[in-house]
Amino acid sequence: MIKVVPGPASRRLGASLAEELKTSVLEVESKVFPDGESYVRLKGEVAGEEVVVVQSCYPPQDKHLIELLLLVKTIKELGARKVIAAVPYLAYSRQDKRFLEGEAVSGRVVLELIGLAGADALLTVDVHSEALLEKLSFKAVNVSAMPLIARYLSQLRLLNPFILSPDKKRAREAGLVASLLNTDHGYLEKVRDLSTGEVKTMVKGLPVEGRDVVIVDDIISTGGTIANAASIVKSQGARRVLAACTHPILAKGAEERMRKAGVEEIIGTDAVESHVSRVSVAPALAEALRKL
Ligand code: R5P
């Protein structure tokens, strides 16, 4: 029977996953030393066991990543037969290539570190770039939270919902949510300034008049992408605008920016533990683990 180790960043999700898998949790003691260094201590036996470490690497990314690496390495050294790193939010995955000369391909470095720590497999959720998961020395599986988000949305009383992706890259996800809600979808196109990070979204006509629009994305960070899309559909007569995402990073000012643009409700998952985490990704992780 697989054992679940909830890391300091994902204690709630780890507990939910253990419940899904009907297995036990091994606790982790953690603290930060006065100089800022991280400490973890595993409480329990792992020799000969298959273990899944659940540790999402949302902000503070570097701290959460170090804790993950310390846990994976320790569990391996203590004799676990197999260690699976479940990292719902894979930090740095947006830096999946060298956009500007001389940049670090940080997403790749993070994955290599997880492999070096001893992970036999990686499980992640709605990773920003699936290309990052190719050609690794260990098995990497990406699962989608979109069916779970769609199930949550189906319980809200939405009026003739329209599902919108704020950029072309997530059109597939919007399509999936729309098909599960038995409705239609569309996408916008955006460009991001590589130096300032500012997002520009192209205006296009959408069939949103008098309808509830749900904007779906993988990550909400500054909220700029969602705010632009919300302003566009509001100006075209949308009745209500909601935003749903897998990773509610919600950097400072993000919620205010989106609300000002007309977003009434923000729905996220516990891939990133936040006050908007209304959907648990535990069932998706459990299903993937059963297949691994
Ligand atoms: C980028 O392409 C992603 O899919 C998200 O749209 C993006 O990360 C959101 O960032 P922000 O909230 O800062 O606009």
Please tell me the pTM assigned to this model: 0.95
Of the candidates 73, 82, 190, 234, the residue annotated as catalytic is 190
Average pLDDT, the chain: 97
pLDDT at 198 over 90: no
CA distance 28 to 44: 9
Ligand 1 atom 10 nearest Cα: 221
Q: What is the pLDDT of residues 245-287, one digit of tens each?
A: 999 999 999 999 999 999 999 999 999 999 999 999 999 999 9
Chain centroid, CA 141 distance in Å: 13
Helices (H), ranges, 39-187: 61-77, 106-117, 146-154, 171-180
Domains of the chain: 3-144+280-291 (3.40.50.2020), 146-270 (3.40.50.2020)
CB atoms within 10 A of CB 34: 5
Is 73 among the catalytic positions?
A: no
Cα of 219 from ligand 1 centre, angstroms: 5
- Asked whether 96 lines ligand 1 (CB < 6 A), one says no
pLDDT at 195: 84
> What is the Cα gyration radius of the chain?
20
**Ligand 1 binding pocket includes 190 (Cβ within 6 Å):** no
Least confidently predicted of 39-53, 190-204, 235-249, 269-283: 190-204
Note whether 86 and 53 are within 8 A (CB).
yes
Atom of ligand 1 nearest to the CA of 197: 13
- Tens digit of pLDDT for each residue in 20-47? 999 999 999 999 999 999 999 999 999 9
**Phi and psi of 192, rounded to 5°?**
-115, 130
Q: How far apart are the CA of 197 and the centre of ligand 1, in A?
A: 10
Hey, which of 126, 193, 218 would you mutate to test ligand 1's pocket, going by the most ligand atoms within 8 Å of its Cβ?
Answer: 218
Sheet of strand 162-165: strand arrangement: 184-187, 162-165, 212-220, 240-248, 263-269, 277-279
Cβ neighbours around 101 below 10 Å, total: 5
- The answer to whether the CB of 149 falls within 8 A of the CB of 279 is yes
Instruction: Please list the residues that pair with 244 across neighbouring strands.
Output: 216, 267
Span 109-124, pLDDT tens digits: 999 999 999 999 999 9
Evaluate: CB of 228 within 6 angstroms of ligand 1: no
